[in-house]
């Protein structure tokens, strides 16, 4: 099955804004390995429960995590597909820059 890796400009903006914060990157990292409740996540940070909830909401809005009910709690789970899509975008940028550098190297070699 081929997965569409194309991201809209808005999706790219949301993903990279969300990942610009160290706490949010850590939440994504932790929830890719195992799901956790917001309470479990909040216990690891020197900030309020409400602040962690806001971080999770930003990540959820970017599609980097999902929340689902589990008893009385809401469990947070990282979304590896969103990470793959962001990685595919970065890979495309890398290809563009490598091609540009290759062309520049060829031009410089011609001048010598």
The tokens for 74 are: 């809401």
pLDDT tens-digit series, residues 72-112: 999 999 999 999 998 998 999 899 999 999 999 888 888 77
Q: How far is CA 106 from CA 98, 109, 110, 111, in A?
A: 12, 5, 6, 9
End-to-end CA distance of the chain: 48
In the chain, count H helices and then E strands.
5, 3
This model's pTM is above 0.75: yes
What distance in Å separates the CA atoms of residue 36 and residue 76, rounded to the nearest whole number?
Answer: 5
Per the CB < 8 A criterion, the answer to whether 61 and 18 are in contact is yes
CATH class label, 9-111: mainly alpha
pLDDT tens-digit series, residues 25-48: 999 999 999 999 999 999 999 999
SS3 of residue 15 by DSSP: helix
**pLDDT value of position 36:** 96
Mean of the pLDDT values across residues 18-28?
Answer: 97
Find residue 78's DSSP bridge partners: 65
């Amino acid at each position: 099955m081929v997965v569409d890796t194309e991201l809209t400009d808005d999706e790219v903006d949301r993903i990279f804004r969300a990942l610009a914060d160290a706490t949010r990157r850590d939440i994504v990292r932790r929830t890719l390995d195992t799901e956790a409740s917001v309470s479990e996540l909040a216990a690891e940070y020197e900030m309020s429960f409400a602040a962690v909830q806001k971080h999770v909401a930003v990540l959820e809005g970017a599609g980097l995590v999902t929340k689902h009910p589990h008893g009385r709690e809401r469990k947070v789970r990282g979304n590896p597909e969103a990470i793959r899509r962001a990685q595919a975008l970065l890979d495309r940028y890398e290809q563009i820059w490598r091609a540009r550098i290759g062309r520049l190297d060829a031009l410089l070699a011609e001048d010598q």
